[in-house]
Amino acid sequence: MHIEAQAIVCAVRPHGEHGAIVRALTPADGLVAGYVRGGRSRRLKPVLVPGNLIRADYRARTEEQLPALTVELVESRAGMLGEPLPAAAIDWATALAAATLPEGQPYPPLYQALDGVLAAVVAAPAARDWAAALVRYELLMLSELGFGLDLSGCVATGALTDLAYVSPKSSAAVSRAAGEVYRDRLLPLPAFLIEGGAGEWPELLDGLKLTGFFLERDLLHGRAMDVLAARERLVDRLKRVSA
């Protein structure tokens, strides 16, 4: 088994006295774990930071064996970890991939989306410039793993315009006219997810509320609830910034 690819570091945990097991997302092979000898050394510790872009070389004698991984830094995003809000965004975006993606299955759109979110955070640490991309990344994660939302039209009437809500039961859009009487049971559907663009703060927070509901219910409930703490920290900080 030999994989050589550019990859995004998603999770790192100590292994043994000096090593580390690193899970990184690659474009063509998906999430792949590997053992990095000396991964906790002064030389490699700054490289093995979630969010960093690396050149990864995985080698193993069999497919079942945990491969040995050697790494080379391509782009460091660790400089953002000193900023509370960008750090929370990077922590959550990478933790979501590590917690939900099955290993060894390719998800090229998710690789591109995660890389895009991280690049946006680095380019413009102000959350207003990357929050919409994060919401779309979360929607894509749901879709790629089989829990996509149907935002193409109203599930009740078939209307294609003025979509304002999402039904928790059907995971589908509902028009304003059809959903107004049931609005307390529905989730808000922000316009930027239909029309494009960045969205204003109230819409961005509605988008995070929407994706958060389905992520917790369909992907993270019962097996990775601790990962949601990273998202809660991020959302709390975004709310403070938007106030």
User: What pTM did the predictor assign?
Assistant: 0.94
Q: How far is CA 186 from CA 97, 146, 170, 234, in A?
A: 27, 21, 10, 24
Residue 158 to residues 125, 163, 173, 214, Cα–Cα distance (Å): 40, 10, 10, 22
Q: Work out the pLDDT band at 226, boundaries 50, 70, 90.
A: confident
Q: Which fold has domain 2-76?
A: OB fold (Dihydrolipoamide Acetyltransferase, E2P) (2.40.50)
Rounded CA gap, 182 and 76, in Å?
47
Q: Which of 96, 88, 197 is nearest to 144 (CA)?
A: 96
Res. 129 pLDDT band, cuts 50 70 90: confident
| pLDDT (average), residues 179-202 | 93
Bridge partners of residue 165, in order along the sequence: 174, 188
How do residues 158-187 score in pLDDT, each as one tens digit? 999 999 999 999 999 999 999 999 999 999
> What is the per-residue pLDDT across 28-54, written as a single tens digit (0 to 9) for each?
999 999 999 999 999 999 999 999 999
Report yes or no: 109 and 39 within 8 Å, Cβ to Cβ.
no
77, 97, 235 from 242: Cα distances, Å: 24, 26, 10
What ranges do the domains of the chain cover?
2-76, 81-151+189-242
Percent of the chain at pLDDT above 70? 99
As a dihedral over the C-alpha atoms of residue 218, residue 219, residue 223, residue 226, rounded to 10 degrees, the angle is -110
Q: Looking at the predicted structure, is the pLDDT value of residue 223 above 90?
A: no
For residues 151 and 192, give the distance between their C-alpha atoms in angstroms, rounded to a whole number.
12
* Rounded alpha-carbon distances, angstroms, from residue 189 to 20, 56, 85, 89, 103: 42, 39, 24, 22, 32
